[in-house]
């Protein structure tokens, strides 16, 4: 790892940057949960946030990991899940994206991300970002090399209200090139009385996303991103309901 007297975070990232569940899972689906954790090393004092704010959606995707784990078990599918908060560095953003290391998130100013030295930024990249991207690339390549088909599914959650605007979709299916695969999921979900967001509440873009365009579309792999509204992921029953709905469609 790089070292520098200007790097105030040297030695803080002792926890592994990711967990890999069911690496040898037999499903063609490879699950990814880039925003699985709200963990920030205690030495960073929650990047200046209050204890409550550091547990909010700005720090992680609430409920996403539980759903991803449930899908992993039901499908016998590998799952790569982050072990650090996206506030340190967002694993689903290109490194040149403005919010790769956000200085502001929604209404919150992230003091601990402001005026970072280049050495500190690079250190986060080397400790957290690159190992995750390399592991995902390796996982996909190993399966392709061994002749296994691969479908890439990223699991996220979103807030019911954003900047005062209510979001009416309990689930969104986001995709770039994988329109046929995405449509299969959308058609399957239409058996339920829910409002399905199609490329809502976000859209996949090359300059704003990493997993789907880089590890999926660019590799000619079917890839979709599931966005679940987090008020529908608050209980164990919620998780079971969504896993039961989604697993047969994936």
Look at residue 92 in the predicted model and tell me its pLDDT.
98
Look at residue 143 in the predicted model and tell me its pLDDT.
96
CATH number at residue 86: 3.40.630.40
Look at residue 189 in the predicted model and tell me its pLDDT.
98
In a domain, 1, yes or no: no
Instruction: Name the residue range of residue 190's domain.
Output: 18-249
* 3-class secondary structure, 210: coil
Look at residue 151 in the predicted model and tell me its pLDDT.
98
Nearest CA among 149, 155, 153 for reference residue 171 = 155
In a domain, 176, yes or no: yes
Look at residue 59 in the predicted model and tell me its pLDDT.
97
Look at residue 19 in the predicted model and tell me its pLDDT.
98
In a domain, 5, yes or no: no
Contact 30, 153 (CB under 8 A): yes
The domain tally of the chain equals: 1
124-133 per-position pLDDT tens digit: 999 999 999 9
* pLDDT beneath 70, residues of the chain: 1-5
In a domain, 170, yes or no: yes
Measured CA to CA in angstroms, residue 68 lies from 77, 86, 110 at distances of: 10, 17, 28
Look at residue 93 in the predicted model and tell me its pLDDT.
98
H-helix or E-strand spanning residue 135:
helix 130-145
Contact 79, 69 (CB under 8 A): yes
In a domain, 75, yes or no: yes
Look at residue 4 in the predicted model and tell me its pLDDT.
47
The three-point CA angle 149-140-143 to 5° equals: 50
Q: Which two tokens stand for residue 154?
A: 């990223």
pTM of the model: 0.96
């Amino acid at each position: 790892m790089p070292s520098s007297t200007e790097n105030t975070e040297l030695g803080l990232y002792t926890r592994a940057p990711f967990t890999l569940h069911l690496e040898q899972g037999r499903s063609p689906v490879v699950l990814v949960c880039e925003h699985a954790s709200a963990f920030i090393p205690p030495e960073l004092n929650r990047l200046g946030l209050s204890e409550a704010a550091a547990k909010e959606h700005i720090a992680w995707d609430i409920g996403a990991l539980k759903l991803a784990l449930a899908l992993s078990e039901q499908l016998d599918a590998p799952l790569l899940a982050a072990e650090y908060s996206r506030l340190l560095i967002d694993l689903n953003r290109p490194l040149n994206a403005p919010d790769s290391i956000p200085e502001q998130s929604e209404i919150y100013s992230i003091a601990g991300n402001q005026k970072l030295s280049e050495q500190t930024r690079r250190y986060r990249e080397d400790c957290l970002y690159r190992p995750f991207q390399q592991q995902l690339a390796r996982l996909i390549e190993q399966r392709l090399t061994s002749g296994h088909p691969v479908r890439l599914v990223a699991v996220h959650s979103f807030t019911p209200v954003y900047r005062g605007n209510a979001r009416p979709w309990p689930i969104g299916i986001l995709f770039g090139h994988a329109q046929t695969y995405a449509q299969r999921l959308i058609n399957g979900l239409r058996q339920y009385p829910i409002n399905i967001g199609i490329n809502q509440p976000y859209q996949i873009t090359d300059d704003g996303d990493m997993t789907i365009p880089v590890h999926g579309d660019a590799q000619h792999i079917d890839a979709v991103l599931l966005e679940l509204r987090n008020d529908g992921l608050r209980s164990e029953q919620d998780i079971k309901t969504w896993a039961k709905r989604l697993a047969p469609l994936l």
